Amino acid sequence: MARRYHISIFLLLITIGLKAQETDLGVQLKGKSNGSEILLRWAPTAPVVWQYANTYGYTLERVTLMENGKILRNQELEVLGVFKPAPLASWESAAENDDYVAVAAQSIYGEGFSVTETFSSEMVKAINQAREIENRFSFALFASDMSGEAAQLSGLFYRDEEVYNDFQYLYRLYPNIPSDLLRTDTATLLIGLEDEIELPVVNDVNVEFGDQMVELSWGSIWNGYYGGYWVEKSESGGPFQSISNVPIVQATSTETPRIFVYDSLAGNGLKYEYRVVGIDHFGEKGPPSVAVSGVGKPDFQGIPSIDRVFETSDGVRIEWTVPESLGYLVRSFDLLRQNQSNKINEVILQDIAGTQRISTDTLPQSSNYYIIRAIDNYGRKVNSFPFFYQLDDSIPPAPPVNFTGVIDTTGLVHLTWDQNMENDLYGYKLYVSNHSDAEFIQVPGPIITQPHFTDTINLETLTEKIYYQLRALDFRFNPSEPSETLELKKPDRIPPLPPVFTNIKADSLGIHLSWKGSPSKDVISYYLYRRSEAEEDWTFMERFDPADSINEFLDAKVDGRLTYGYTFIAVDDNRLESRPAEPITAKALDIPQQIFTGVFSYIDAENKAVNLSWEASKKDVSTFQIYKSKNGENLSLYKVLEGSTYELKDQFDPSDEFIEYQLLATFQDGRKSGFSRKILVEL
């Protein structure tokens, strides 16, 4: 009967954690549910643990941890027992029916384990003794993996029947080895009846058939479920039988992606099927894999060899030989030609008899890469090396088409065109010129083999364009006619030169400018700027188009009191601006303007007054100044009127014989107009 203790699961887990940090020596614990029981299997991690544990045994404990997913408050620790190998007498009857039981018994109780001593030194004896312990340990664990009864008799198995649905159990296992002999770790496992898992199918079995042999492989990922595998074989639809007396186990200690197994065949041509059945650590078999099948095939070694190719009246004749190792297996041949543009082998003739060694290409191309392919009764194929043969050819390829390009700002010229379709196309040559009507020179470098190329040019030149031509070449170096000339405009990095002033003069109309245009051919605009001596910034005046051939300008909007400077900026078709032209200056002439368009007078005899009126052509008048003289005296300022006044009533003395008037206007900016004509009034 199991002993029971009340224990805190928290303290239990702390204890387990502390032990786990002490040593790597201990045991591994695995479990599985069959729906009504929980089966437990364990194995020591090292031969020394196994050796001591066979004497002191293992203690297995259980804690009922959870019910319906909730942790129980009161958890009971139950000691399920202390396990060690059964006495030798208990093994005898089981060993008669189970070879694995016999192997496990021999490993634990046998007097020797066949380690040959060829040296007498004490060191060699110690080495052999250590190897014997390792061999015993390995065979004991292997036998326990293959047989549940061997595991139970070895003290490495327990069947827990006192378990119930909806509960989770925490199992704890540790070797009862005194700590002064060996410090060991503790293994734990949480499991319930609901954790029943069906054993999986090994579903990635691959098979390769050879000459009276077969190679099978499957992923080592299944080692997480199985400790060994049976490989079973069926011949010609017969029953499946294992190919070995013992299960297959992964021989290496390090994990490899796949497990490989080899089997010999009685002969080639017969159909064989194989399947893999896993065995878990409790000795239970999993479901068999899907069968893989095939037949043994004799080695297909060697390749055909094309020995001779020559022209006949019917076309191109190809002769070949086949090595003896290959000849008797060949069912048929195919004649192929390799397309050099895409490296694809195109079939010219197929199903040539396996006894034939001659064939003719009735439609050869100018350049041909011939290949002979041998095919056996199993569909296996092997190719000869390509054999090049070229016809007498004087016909050049067609000129390249769709030749385009673009020049970037770093001077790289990116050129593309359509690939020529001729089978004997070898490549292209590129030619360049700075002028469309000049000689084209070949761009240095090897033959261009792709329908694109990148050239490099100098942008710091005065020529605005560059021209390219392209020729295609075949394998006989027959050149095509040149492609259409490609004209490319260079990115402009050189600003234009400005116009040059040739003359400047001032007259009564304003300031006259004349200039000579820029020598740069790509100029699209001239911009004229002006600055007076009273201004800090230049002001845009006028835009000129060089194509209009206008090289004169009258600046009529000038102040006669100021000096003016002028400059030009030229802009090219890449929006690059020139430096400003050397400024030129002139002082405007201060010529009074005649603004009076009419001055009128009449005499009001009754009131003894002269009524004077006038008209002016400008409206920005600040004042009108009226000058007057009587009876031939000098004119003098008589009155100043507001600029909005256009008439005057002037009283006269009856003794006066005549009066003269003359008008002068002052503008709002302080300038003055010219005098009006004199008005003579006779009284």
Tens of pLDDT, residues 511-526: 999 999 998 888 999 9
pLDDT of 122-139, one tens digit each?
444 444 555 788 888 888
Q: What is the mean pLDDT of residues 460-472?
A: 89
Q: What pLDDT is attached to residue 126?
A: 47
Q: What pLDDT is attached to residue 668?
A: 86
Which range, of 57-61, 213-217, 340-344, 397-401, averages the lowest pLDDT? 340-344
- Residue by residue, what is the 3-state secondary structure of 411-467? CEEEEECCCCCCCCEEEEEEEEECCCCCCCEECCCCCECCCEEEEECCCCCCCCEEE
Q: What pLDDT is attached to residue 113?
A: 59
107 with 66, same domain? yes
104 with 32, same domain? yes
Q: Per-residue confidence at 120, pLDDT binned at 50, 70, 90?
A: very low
- Report how many domains make up the chain: 6
Q: What pLDDT is attached to residue 7?
A: 36
φ, ψ (nearest 5 deg) of residue 222: -75, -10
List Cα–Cα distances, 375 to 167, 218, 618, 638, in angstroms: 65, 30, 110, 131
Give the mean pLDDT of the chain. 87
Query: Is residue 396 a part of any domain in this protein?
Result: no
Q: What is the mean pLDDT of residues 381-391?
A: 91
Task: Go through 296-312 and write b for each residue having 16 or more CB atoms within 10 A of its CB, e for each that does not.
Answer: bbbebeeebebeebeee
**Quick one: how many helices (H) and strands (E) in the chain?**
7, 45
221 with 284, same domain? yes
444 with 342, same domain? no
Question: Looking at the predicted structure, is the pLDDT value of residue 377 above 90?
Answer: no
| String of DSSP letters for 469-530 | EEEEEETT-PBPPPPPPEEEEPPP-SPPPPPEEEEEEEETTEEEEEEE--S-TTEEEEEEEE
Q: Per-residue confidence at 12, pLDDT binned at 50, 70, 90?
A: very low
Query: Is residue 300 a part of any domain in this protein?
Result: no
Domain end marker among 165, 195, 225? 195
Instruction: Compute the Cα dihedral for 115, 116, 118, 122 and give only its sign.
Output: positive
8 with 149, same domain? yes
Query: Is residue 528 a part of any domain in this protein?
Result: yes
Q: What pLDDT is attached to residue 127?
A: 47
264 with 385, same domain? no
User: Domain of 268: which CATH number?
Assistant: 2.60.40.10
Q: What pLDDT is attached to residue 226?
A: 87
Question: Looking at the predicted structure, is the pLDDT value of residue 16 above 80?
Answer: no
Query: Is residue 201 a part of any domain in this protein?
Result: no
Rounded to whole angstroms, the Cα distance separating 529 from 515 reads 14
556 with 636, same domain? no
Rounded to whole angstroms, the Cα distance separating 312 from 332 reads 24
Whether residue 39 contacts residue 174, with contact meaning beta carbons closer than 8 Å, is answered with: no
Query: Is residue 240 a part of any domain in this protein?
Result: yes
List Cα–Cα distances, 599 to 55, 57, 613, 674, in angstroms: 148, 145, 6, 14
647 with 515, same domain? no
Q: Per-residue confidence at 550, pLDDT binned at 50, 70, 90?
A: confident
Query: Is residue 449 a part of any domain in this protein?
Result: yes
Q: What pLDDT is attached to residue 39?
A: 93
Query: Is residue 144 a part of any domain in this protein?
Result: yes
Q: What pLDDT is attached to residue 4?
A: 43
Domain end marker among 358, 390, 422? 390
Question: Looking at the predicted structure, is the pLDDT value of residue 117 above 60?
Answer: no
Count Cβ atoms within 10 A of the Cβ of residue 475 and give its class: 0-12 exposed, 13-18 middle, 19 or more buried: middle
Domain end marker among 295, 318, 345? 295
Nearest 5°: the CA angle 65, 66, 71 is 90
Question: Looking at the predicted structure, is the pLDDT value of residue 638 above 90?
Answer: yes
Rounded to whole angstroms, the Cα distance separating 284 from 170 reads 23
Q: What pLDDT is attached to residue 200?
A: 92
pLDDT of 141-191, one tens digit each?
888 888 889 999 999 999 999 999 999 999 999 999 999 999 999 999 999
Q: What pLDDT is attached to residue 21?
A: 38
Q: What pLDDT is attached to residue 559?
A: 83
> Which residue in this structure is represented by tokens 């004169």?
552
| Residue 517 structural domain | 500-587
List the one residue out of 286, 274, 293 whose CA is nearest residue 222.
286
Which range, of 239-253, 319-333, 410-424, averages the lowest pLDDT? 239-253
Q: What pLDDT is attached to residue 656?
A: 86
Query: Is residue 397 a part of any domain in this protein?
Result: no
Rounded to whole angstroms, the Cα distance separating 269 from 126 reads 53
Q: What pLDDT is attached to residue 566?
A: 95
Q: What is the mean pLDDT of residues 324-351?
A: 88
Rounded to whole angstroms, the Cα distance separating 547 from 578 reads 18
Q: What pLDDT is attached to residue 252?
A: 53
Question: Looking at the predicted structure, is the pLDDT value of residue 365 above 60?
Answer: yes
pLDDT of 430-442, one tens digit each?
999 999 999 999 9
67 with 148, same domain? yes
Question: Looking at the predicted structure, is the pLDDT value of residue 407 above 70?
Answer: yes
Q: State the pTM of this model.
A: 0.46
Q: What pLDDT is attached to residue 509?
A: 81
91 with 150, same domain? yes
- Tabulate helix, strand, coil % of the chain (nearest 5): 15, 45, 45
Q: What pLDDT is attached to residue 484?
A: 95
Question: Looking at the predicted structure, is the pLDDT value of residue 585 above 90?
Answer: yes
Task: Go through 139-159 and write b for each residue having 16 or more CB atoms within 10 A of its CB, e for each that does not.
Answer: bbbbbbbbbbbbbbbbbbbbe
pLDDT of 42-74, one tens digit each?
999 999 999 999 999 999 999 999 999 899 888
Q: What is the mean pLDDT of residues 607-636?
A: 91
Which range, of 342-346, 429-433, 568-572, 677-681, averages the lowest pLDDT? 342-346
39 with 88, same domain? yes
Q: Give kind and range of the element (H or E) at residue 187.
A: strand 187-192
Rounded to whole angstroms, the Cα distance separating 575 from 552 reads 24
Rounded to whole angstroms, the Cα distance separating 295 from 3 reads 61
Query: Would you tell me how many other CB atoms lie within 10 Å of the CB of residue 488?
Result: 17
Half-sphere exposure of 638 (CA within 13 A, CB side): 18
pLDDT of 259-297, one tens digit each?
999 999 988 888 999 999 998 888 888 999 999 999 888
Q: What pLDDT is attached to residue 145?
A: 84
Q: What pLDDT is attached to residue 237?
A: 87
List the one residue out of 383, 356, 381 whose CA is nearest residue 372.
383
Q: What pLDDT is attached to residue 508?
A: 75
50 with 165, same domain? yes
